[in-house]
Amino acid sequence: MNKQSIKLSVDAVVFGYEEGIISVLLIKRKYEPFKGKWAIPGGFVLNDETLECAVERELQEETGIKINYLEQLYSFGDPERDPRGRIVSIAYFGLVRPNAFKIFASTDASEVEWFNIKELPELSFDHENILDLAIKRLQGKITYEPIGFELLDKKFPFSDLEKLYVTLLGRDIDRRNFRKKIISFNVLDELNEKVSKGSGRPANLFQFNKKRYFQLKKEGIIFEI
Amino acid sequence: MNKQSIKLSVDAVVFGYEEGIISVLLIKRKYEPFKGKWAIPGGFVLNDETLECAVERELQEETGIKINYLEQLYSFGDPERDPRGRIVSIAYFGLVRPNAFKIFASTDASEVEWFNIKELPELSFDHENILDLAIKRLQGKITYEPIGFELLDKKFPFSDLEKLYVTLLGRDIDRRNFRKKIISFNVLDELNEKVSKGSGRPANLFQFNKKRYFQLKKEGIIFEI
DNA sequence: TTCATATGCGTAATTTAAACACAAAAATAA
DNA sequence: TTATTTTTGTGTTTAAATTACGCATATGAA
């Protein structure tokens, strides 16, 4: 058999959210190809690490971030996708609470920045395709899995959750029906803490109960917006 | 940087359906490791072929089958998954009409056989995990994408479709409501042909209109059971 | 001719989702 | 101090979708 000369990399589309803005973490490439251009963080998989480890390592090295939620997105294998040769990339999709970490650039990255997904720069390789797919996945997934909480603070008022969904789904939601629906899934703990932002009645804080969610999931109860 | 020595393979879980039985195509391995054991068809990706081409080539070589529907399933990269060394496999998920092809074994396979997914043999590598995931994907996907038709004859009576769904979902369906729902999606052409199987009123034949489905999908209409 | 079997079409009951109204608690303005 | 604005919290009413179910029709078999 011919000797295979395919290299394997991982890439990670990391989303953050704050105040009605979904952002994605990009790095500016320090080396060729696409030197000086923005790209999704990622890099080659080491011989003895799992794919997830590779993603976490690359993110730590290039951006200093530690991921909150990570799942595999898709594998991209077009022979022409990388000018250096045949590089197949397994793309991941991650969520973080942006204010929880200080980002910094190092190794292959000369800069790291959060970009509003509505105002993206031109990207390297086929990273635009990867990012598009990740956005679709995020938008789809929040309607049937409670991953939105991974983007909010641990304790949050209901209005934050609602605003996140409005932003992600890109359409208005009836506040009262939304609240009823979420409450009915029984995965939120209501805390005895209130928070006041400016004027208006102070809001009660809620917390996502992941343990309870997994119990309900086992019993076949489905989270669906 | 250390020289990467990871090999890349593709594997395909191919499902067929006939008379209330979902089956999966397996090969018996001709060579070590796992010589003589059953496995999902697959093999190494060539340097200049796309991943989909690799899957189709391997299926053709090992089993003689041509796939009807193919989509990427998941990538498996555990460093310990293959005793030969680090081999990352990108798994695909395919559907065929089993009576449409004559299967035969060649190259790496000493035998090829359709197995009822309820009566599976022990499998090589981590192929049991891959197969489990594929079954879940199939069961999930038929409820929101009209892929079930890819398993039926081009022209089929409604009862065939219903039986397929009962088999895949593992629960009873109200025949009349099911029919109404499917009809309401407007993706079936009713033909002026009838077919009679044994006793009972002859059934009208239907045909899936893929073109119409893509039109409706563009308009945002969702197929959901 | 009658019976068993599977198809095809319809309506009623129930459940779920969507639309909508107003009270409560705080900051701000008069 | 009092009225006004703003945001939160809790309903109820109406429309839509789902589920349950009844019965006529066309065939093969007894």
Do residues B215 and B118 share a domain?
no
Q: What is the pLDDT of residues A41-84, one digit of tens each?
A: 999 999 999 999 999 999 999 999 999 999 999 999 999 999 99
Q: What is the total count of domains within chain A?
A: 2
Residue A2, pLDDT above cutoff 70: no
Interchain CB contact of A133 with B (< 8 Å): no
pLDDT at A62: 95
Would you say the C-beta of A37 is within 7 Å of strand C?
no
Residue A102: band (very low, low, confident or very high) from pLDDT cuts 50, 70, 90: confident
Do residues A18 and A82 share a domain?
yes
Residue B107, pLDDT above cutoff 90: no
Closest alpha carbon to B90 in A130, A127, A10? A10
- This complex has an ipTM of 0.95
pLDDT at B2: 66
Say if A225 falls within a structural domain: no
Contacts 24+ apart (CB under 8 A), A113-118: A113/A25, A113/A26, A113/A28, A114/A16, A114/A23, A114/A24, A114/A25, A114/A26, A115/A23, A115/A24, A115/A25, A115/A26, A115/A38, A116/A21, A116/A22, A116/A23, A117/A15, A117/A22, A117/A23, A117/A24
Interchain CB contact of A5 with B (< 8 Å): yes
The size of chain A, in residues, is 225
CA distance B1 to chain A (A): 10
Say if B149 falls within a structural domain: no
Residue B1, pLDDT above cutoff 70: no
Closest alpha carbon to A19 in A203, A167, A196, A138? A167
Closest alpha carbon to B37 in B28, B24, B46? B28
CB-nearest to A6 from B47, B77, B78 is B47
Q: Which residues pair with B203 in a beta bridge?
A: B195
**A75·B4 Cβ contact <8 A:** no
The size of chain B, in residues, is 225
CB-nearest to B8 from A8, A51, A74 is A8
CATH of the domain at A116: 3.90.79.10
**B88·A4 Cβ contact <8 A:** no
CA of A140 to C1' of C28 (A): 41
Using the structure block, give the residue that is written with the tokens 């399933």. Answer: B73
Say if A2 falls within a structural domain: no
Helix (H, G, I), strand (E, B) or coil at A108: coil
Say if B95 falls within a structural domain: yes
Would you say the C-beta of B200 is within 7 Å of strand D?
yes
Residue B98, pLDDT above cutoff 90: no
Residue A155, pLDDT above cutoff 80: yes
Query: What residues of chain A lie within 8 A of the CB of B75, using their CB?
Result: 51, 72, 75, 90
Tell me which of B100 and A27 has the higher pLDDT: A27
Residue B101, pLDDT above cutoff 80: no
pLDDT at B144: 96
Do residues B52 and B160 share a domain?
no
Query: What residues of chain A lie within 8 A of the CB of B8, using their CB?
Result: 4, 6, 8, 88
Say if B16 falls within a structural domain: yes
Query: Residue B133 belongs to what domain range?
Result: 7-141
Residue A156, pLDDT above cutoff 70: yes
Residue A100, pLDDT above cutoff 80: no
**Mean pLDDT confidence for A87-115:** 91
CATH of the domain at B214: 1.10.10.10
Q: Which of A98-102, A201-205, B128-132 has the lowest mean pLDDT?
A: A98-102
